């Protein structure tokens, strides 16, 4: 009788924590990558895990609360270069979103639009960033009457520099909001992929305290 094949043995200790925060999805991801012969590296020295609530997905980001994020210069919807340093001296809300004209992103953009006067009253600027080109941003802003700046991060370089995470399954660019104070220091990082309008509520709450 032919001998049975030996079972595949997974390591006895799975790296189910990221930055000392346990999360059940980490074990699932590790097992999946292990079975596919891939490696999964989780380094607590280079990332910080954040969650918007007890039930929200785990988030590992390079830009932390209390830090000054990498600067950038990108083209806006009119094709003009805009640098992050332009907004220094006033609070700024920088939100990364997956793409123009998608349902969640449209809902989020319109929510920022509808609350824009509240942001102005708080002395804050709003800046949206995605990988779409300037022409796409211009059409998106015109169609929904968006009064704020949209920047084109083609190639997603700034997204990578800031460490903006992908969505839960890594299929789409993630949705993440940063609130910077007048000195350019991050005071809030908020991630909620599936309830985009909550970004507005959370950012306004913080701006009212700055």
The set of catalytic residues is: 105
Bridge partners of 18, per DSSP, are 21
Cβ-Cβ contacts under 8 Å for 69 (sequence gap 6 or more): 63, 84, 162, 178, 180, 184, 186
């Amino acid at each position: 009788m032919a001998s049975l094949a030996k079972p595949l043995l997974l390591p006895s200790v799975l790296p189910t924590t990221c930055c000392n925060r346990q999360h059940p999805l980490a074990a699932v991801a590790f097992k999946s990558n292990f079975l596919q012969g891939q490696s999964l590296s989780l380094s607590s020295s280079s990332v910080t895990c954040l969650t918007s609530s007890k039930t929200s997905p785990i988030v590992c980001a390079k830009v932390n609360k209390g830090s000054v994020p990498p600067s950038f210069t990108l083209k806006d919807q009119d094709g003009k270069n805009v640098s992050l340093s332009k907004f220094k001296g006033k609070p700024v809300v920088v939100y990364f979103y997956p793409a123009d004209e998608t349902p969640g992103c449209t809902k989020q953009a319109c929510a920022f639009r509808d609350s824009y006067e509240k942001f102005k009253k708080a002395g804050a600027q709003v800046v949206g960033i995605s990988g779409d080109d300037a022409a796409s941003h211009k059409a998106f802003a015109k169609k929904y009457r968006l009064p704020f700046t949209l920047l084109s991060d083609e190639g997603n370089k700034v997204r990578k520099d800031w460490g903006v995470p992908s969505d839960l399954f890594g299929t789409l660019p993630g949705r993440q909001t940063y609130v910077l104070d007048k000195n350019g220091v991050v005071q809030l990082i908020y991630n909620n992929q599936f309830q985009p309008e909550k970004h507005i509520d959370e950012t306004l709450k913080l701006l009212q305290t700055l």
